[in-house]
Structure 1
């Protein structure tokens, strides 16, 4: 279980820097000149890629072990993000934007397949009676690590738009980098950051490969088609599917534009966005102290009902924000966490 936490830290840092949902990817798209349609596609790619998760079953259907299928599928997805910065080599910026979207789609699809295998693998390792508490504690540690790294990177990203101040002098001018930290080099910095984040993610897979795997129980396996259709015979699964579709429709309408709205309309820098994310993450860390025990005692369904009610209030805050009062979002970030 300790290895799972260490590997998870590398995975969280990687995804926080260069995967769909990362503020740094959104910033890169803003610098490339992405349109609202392209931002909406960026947001949708994560959900579309999730459709490939069932293919993970196909990869492991006849395999005696799941570990290496998980590692190699995830590695294939992660290595692609190393090339996100290649969008800067396109003479037509629109072509570069579509290149970024294509890379993220392929990377997310492959990692979604690997994630499905990982869930089954970890479920065999973690006893059911402590699973809720373990993953709550694991998520706490992962969130904290991801926030720290994202804060540091966001400070340096904002240095490209800063013209003075003690922080710029300390981090940039004092080491002779003042001439390089200018706005026209910001996208290049992000491109190299994607390379570094990818290497971090790949090293995390080296740790994941050391994770033990319990031998699969020998059971008669039917046709792959039957395994895919079996969940649909469960009434609870069908209800969960309907809820998932409804929730994605509800959140997907606006979630694509939150990041671009902060950067372009409200004039927030990456550091300010990280403050917002920190409040969200800190509230999550605090609540996870109780959610694990709550879920173990009352179940996931009750916890989901509470979260849905609170989550429905969040969009209301965005109706009243402007460049002069966007601190209102700090309260929204805390509630959403």
Structure 2
């Protein structure tokens, strides 16, 4: 977002930076899920998709040389971010499905909490270095260095991923299974609504929450840079504060989820996410946003970890890739619309009222997730009572 603003992108392109990649994901995820399930070596497929996604970092570093007209750079930049989501969105569902097979359900909470914790620590170092470098160097040299460095690190990431041992029995057959055939026709999907009721209720509630979550994306950047005048260094400070609290929060959320369940704690985490846009309104100084970022880090850590774990938990194992694709496609559909809705509200009512509306939308989504958890508990209780008879 900062790079787009410095390139001179208008509000419409700032919103497009969130919505265009989501639109690309919307068009590729479900068809791509069928291909992922048919591919015989999923680890190789994930690595290849990651490579084609990360190569765009190298192209972004060359953007000032590839596009000599400064007026065209903002839209080309946003278009490149969108296009990198073609392999990127497929890599996400393939990776999620693959890791669902690699890591047993009993270990997922701790494993993904540790992974996210390490990612946050790396993010702290990257934010501190990147902010200082980009503020010290003439624009866009600092950003070019960071994009190129990101490409090099991404190649190391792929090399590390290829060391993961692929369990026996995870290789898909060349011909699609009955589950992968049926899950893509409407009649089977209707039957799936009844067989996997908890999944579909969760997906609907998650859709509501994501709508409010994504409304705030362009508003945060706009408020930080255009209202409070944050520099790249200050934006890095916000990222560091958020990452520090996330590092501390991930193992706590994992332990709470093991004790009280993923869905129950997800309702708590998303309620914290609902409060943050409202608190943004009262931040009139940059240091206040830095303090608020600590709270944001805690709630984001819980939301990201528990959403993912709940998705894996409720997706039917035989058709996990497709059901992950359904959920991710739905949330990408809201990501096409929600950022524009946030920007539109900002232009009509002012950014502070737009943030209040975002908080209300997130609260509705958090309440829906809590309701789904309660309905699931009642369904389990009824099933248990029926079995006792």
TM bucket (normalised to shorter chain) is: 0.7 to 0.9
Which runs of structure 2 are paired with 1:6-17 in the superposition (5 Å)?
A: none
After TM superposition, the score normalised by the length of structure 1 is 0.78
Name the counterpart of 2:6. 31
- Per-residue deviation, 1:91: 4.1
Aligned residue among 298, 304, 311 for 2:266:
304
> Which residue of 2 is the match for residue 286 of structure 1?
248
Q: CA–CA distance in 1 between the matches of 2:240 and 2:57? A: 25
Q: Which residue of 2 aligns with 1:155?
A: 132
Correspondence 1:96 to 2:73: yes
Query: Is residue 199 of structure 1 aligned with residue 159 of structure 2?
Result: no
Instruction: Name the structure with the higher helix share.
Output: 2
Structure 1 distance, partners of 2:71, 2:183, is 42
Task: Measure how far apart 1:205 and its partner are.
Answer: 0.7
Tell whether the 8 Å contact from 1:280 to 1:335 is kept in structure 2 after alignment.
yes
- 1:136 is aligned to 113
1:74 is aligned to 2:27? no
CA contact (8 A) 1:64 1:216 kept: no
Per-residue deviation, 1:75: 0.8
Q: Which residue of 1 aligns with 2:182?
A: 226
TM-score norm. by structure 2 comes to: 0.68
C-alpha distance in 2, partners of 1:38/1:82? 22
1:64 equivalenced with 2:40 (yes/no): yes
Please give the secondary structure, in 2, of the residue aligned with 1:136: helix
Aligned equivalents of 1:53 and 1:299: distance in 2? Answer: 28
Partner of residue 237 from structure 1, selected from 199, 208, 227: 199
1:272 deviates by: 1.6
Q: How many residues align?
A: 286
Aligned-pair CA distance for 1:37: 0.6
Give distance in 2, aligned partners of 1:159 and 1:191: 13
Give the superposition deviation at 1:227: 2.9
**Structure 2 residue aligned with 1:329:** 289
Cα distance in 2 between the residues matched to 1:262 and 1:277: 12
Q: Which residue of 1 aligns with 2:350?
A: none
Partner of 1:189: 142
Q: Hey, what does 2:18 align to over in structure 1?
A: 43
> CA contact under 8 A between 2:9 and 2:75: conserved in structure 1?
no
Structure 2 equivalent of residue 250 of structure 1: 212
Distance 1:93 1:245 in 2: 37
User: How far 1:216 sits from its partner (Å)?
Assistant: 2.3
- After superposition, the Cα gap between the structure-2 partners of 1:27 and 1:69, relative to the gap in structure 1 and judged at 3 Å, is same
Q: 1:70 touches 1:117 (CA, 8 Å); kept in 2?
A: yes
Distance 1:125 1:44, change over 3 A: same
Unaligned stretches of 5+ residues in structure 2: 298-389
The answer on whether the counterparts of 1:54 and 1:113 sit within 8 Å (CA) in structure 2 is no
How far apart, CA to CA, are the structure 2 residues paired with 1:46 and 1:306? 29
1:261 to 220, 223, 244: 223
Larger deviation, residues 107-116 vs 213-222: 213-222
Q: Once superposed, what is the RMSD of the aligned Cα atoms?
A: 2.2
